[in-house]
Amino acid sequence: MTIEERFIHYTTFDTQSAEDSDTVPSTSKQLLFAEALREEMIREGLHDVVLDEQGYLYGTLLASPGMEDAPVIGFISHYDTSPDCSGKDVKARIIRDYDGCDIELSAGIVSRVEKFPELLAHKGEDIIVTDGTTLLGADDKAGIAEIMHAVCYLRDHKEIQHGTVRVAFNPDEEIGMGAHHFDVKRFACDWAYTIDGGDEGELEYENFNAASAKVSFTGVSVHPGYGKGKMVNAQHVAMEFAALLPGNERPETTEGYEGFYHLTSMKGSCEGAQLSYIIRDHDRMRFEERKRMMEECAERINAKYGDGTCSVIVKDQYYNMLEKVKPVMHIIERAKAAMLSAGVTPKVQPIRGGTDGAQLSFMGLPCPNIFTGAVNFHGPHEFVSIDVMHKAAMTIVNIVKLSD
């Protein structure tokens, strides 16, 4: 089976996760794909294939004879797709030798080069696109296809000496829950890589420190005709709180290593209101300062309107994996060398977001992130280059065959 055939088959499964669910995985339909993938892993000759009750799927490619003492390296991808766009009835289409022009996905839905200039980097390549009505699911079924292609390649090329290779596929990454039930002890690796990055060459081992903040406001509701000196409109107080935060430190005004406060939702009435924020920063000290800033803004509101008017609950979500990767930078150098051997120029960059690898790194499994070739995630203009998928698969092969 070719890598593109494998990937397109995977896209026929609807594996969308759901943020408002309290089950694991968050949607039962994810398990349908996990079960099919489990059967495929067994057919392809992987050992110790286990699908647990929470949808986490593990398997092993045994070491070459005499290589049993080599480091055990793992590769991980998630199989859920984003709640942001439908993943049902995906109709993937291959464009051979892409000409660099606008792509009509379906009637009236066009991926225009002017709007999506990243298409031009793949002129002359074979790319896979949607029909414009769903996402493609390359995030992260491309990663799964690349891992499976790589282990099958290693299985069939016995001249390549390698240690034990572990693979794992998990649900619910898109809702931030992908690593929560990952069994690091069962995975039993010296280190691992998530195959969940974007375009060719991306190598990421820095991500945001992340927290959520729920800010609640209590007002005083009286008849508006007699409200002078009595009414406290919680909605206006909430807007006042929002104005205390730096206006130039939002997602729409920041890039690179710059952190931000992001207002994700708001609701309220005169009597009560609530603002929901996410807080992000690569620098741990600055991250802690941002959390204190939320508390200080609440104190200012309470000093003006009275104690109990404003309260803040801040919860940490994940941390920058750099802290855990720094002591084992040889795993980054190994990935860089593997990319170069596959004809890929490494592009080291920080993730302006999170990754399962960040949480896994703090669970004792150092786990940077490697490219898949997928572009324009979470929407109908998503595409993936078959050429880059092959390079990602060969990067995996090169990682495990390189000597320390």
| Positions marked catalytic | 80, 173
| Exposure string over 129-146, b if 16+ CB within 10 A, otherwise e | bbbbebbbbbbbbbbbbb
3-state secondary structure the chain: CCHHHHHHHHHCCCCECCCCCCCCCCCCHHHHHHHHHHHHHHHCCCEEEEECCCCCEEEEECCCCCCCCCCCEEEEEECCECCCCCCCCCCCEEECCCCCCCEEEECCEEECCCCCHHHHHHCCCCEEECCCCCCCCHHHHHHHHHHHHHHHHHHHCCCCCCCCEEEEEECCHHHCCCCCCCCHHHHCCCEEEEECCCCCCEEECCECEEEEEEEEEECECCCHHHCCCCCECHHHHHHHHHHHCCCCCCHHHCCCCCCEEEEEEEEECCCEEEEEEEEEECCHHHHHHHHHHHHHHHHHHHHHHCCCCEEEEEEEEECCCHHHHHHHCHHHHHHHHHHHHCCCCCEECCECCCCHHHHHHHCCCCCCEECCCEECCCCCCCEEEHHHHHHHHHHHHHHHHCCC
6/40 Cα distance (integer angstroms): 10
55/74 Cα distance (integer angstroms): 18
CA within 13 Å, CB half, 401? 20
**Cα dihedral 314, 318, 320, 324 sign:** positive
3/84 Cα distance (integer angstroms): 26
